[in-house]
Amino acid sequence: MNEPCSVLPAERIERAIFVIRGQKMMLSTELAELYGVEPKVLVQAVKRNRERFPEDFMFQLTNREFANLKSQIVTSSWGGLRRATPYAFTEQGVAMLSSVLRSKRAVQVNIEIMRAFVRLRKILASHADLARKLEALEKKYDSQFKVVFDAIRQLMTPPVSSRKKIGFQVKEKSAVYKTEKGGRKGSILR
């Protein structure tokens, strides 16, 4: 908790960003750990300044959302029993936290968090760009590659066997053996 911000790895921040209700969010528990404060201190500061945190900046998770999130994350730092579910902050909500938490560490951590959100946006934009290019190629070369896909499908289907089997086959009735009790069954006397 008390690690200096310059040592705070970007991956640590990026792992703390979750998609909740279709938005990239950070939980109050994770933010408190990054800021080096207790979660209840962070929540109290937010509650004292509630007008700075509208619903599109911050909301409290439902019990179901929290349980679902915990089940998806194998190593949870939120263990133990809680009285209330954590709060989730959007990028704007995290930026607003810097006006509520006024320590030097809070300012430095906020700068790093904002950089992490920007990096994630760039990554998502590059993936969207790649998907658009792939779709354009599919449309452009669809008719040319149709022959290739048809050939692959043809190779994948098993051949139809219309020939007779080669070899000698004996057609006889199965042998009947006597059992110890004198009845007829398919087992051998011992």
What is the average per-residue pLDDT within 111-118? 84
3-class DSSP assignment, residue 41: helix
Does the pLDDT of residue 153 top 80, yes or no?
A: no
On the question of pLDDT at 132 being above 50, the answer is yes
pLDDT at residue 108, as a whole number = 83
41 vs 52: CA distance, rounded Å: 17
**Ramachandran area for residue 44 (φ above 0: left; ψ -120 to 50: alpha; else beta):** alpha
Radius of gyration of the chain (CA): 33
**Angle of helix 28-35 versus helix 91-100 axis, rounded to 10:** 40
* pTM of model > 0.75: no
- Which pLDDT value is given to residue 9? 74
List the domains of the chain with CATH numbers. 9-129 (3.10.260)
Quick one: pLDDT at residue 161?
62
Average pLDDT, the chain: 75
